[in-house]
Amino acid sequence: MPLLSVPKLGIGSAGSYSPGMTRGEPTKTVGQSRAGGEKALTVHCLGCYHEGVKTFEELKLWNDMIFVDVPKYRRLVCTPCRSRNVKVMPIFPTARGTMGHTS
């Protein structure tokens, strides 16, 4: 498990991402989310539009995991419709006070 910390975590610096298969997409990592104060994400079902909140801790995400790839590493199954066709969205700490969830 790659739990090593990345020495240069460039926040907001587009351009030099980690080598590999990046295609110029916004490939924010879990580490960058954490650095921005995020602790959780929302999971949206593309089948029935159910949505839920999962914390990074709950899913045991590691820092260099690409945020949008979380469903590839974690079996996120929609509870109502059993679909695995889900996508994850970040929860920004200051955005909308809809989260009644403090850690």
Instruction: Specify the residue, 6 or 46, whose C-beta has the smaller distance to Zn ion.
Output: 46
If one asks whether residue 44 binds Zn ion (CB under 5 A), the answer comes out as no
Buried b (16+ CB within 10 A) or exposed e, 7-29: eeeeeeeeeebeeeeeeeeebbb
Mapping DSSP to helix (H, G, I), strand (E, B) and coil, where does residue 66 land? strand
CB of 45 to Zn ion, least distance (A): 3
CB of 71 to Zn ion, least distance (A): 13
Instruction: Specify the residue, 30 or 45, whose C-beta has the smaller distance to Zn ion.
Output: 45
Size of the site for Zn ion (CB under 5 A): 7
CB of 47 to Zn ion, least distance (A): 4
If one asks whether residue 81 binds Zn ion (CB under 5 A), the answer comes out as yes
Contact 73, 86 (CB under 8 A): no
Q: How many helices (H) and strands (E) does the chain have?
A: 3, 3
Residues for the chain: how many in total?
103
Which pair of structure tokens corresponds to residue 66? Answer: 């690409």
Residues pairing with 96 in the sheet: none
If one asks whether residue 47 binds Zn ion (CB under 5 A), the answer comes out as yes
If one asks whether residue 50 binds Zn ion (CB under 5 A), the answer comes out as yes
Judged by the rule CB under 5 A, the positions of this chain that interact with Zn ion are 45, 47-48, 50, 78, 81, 83
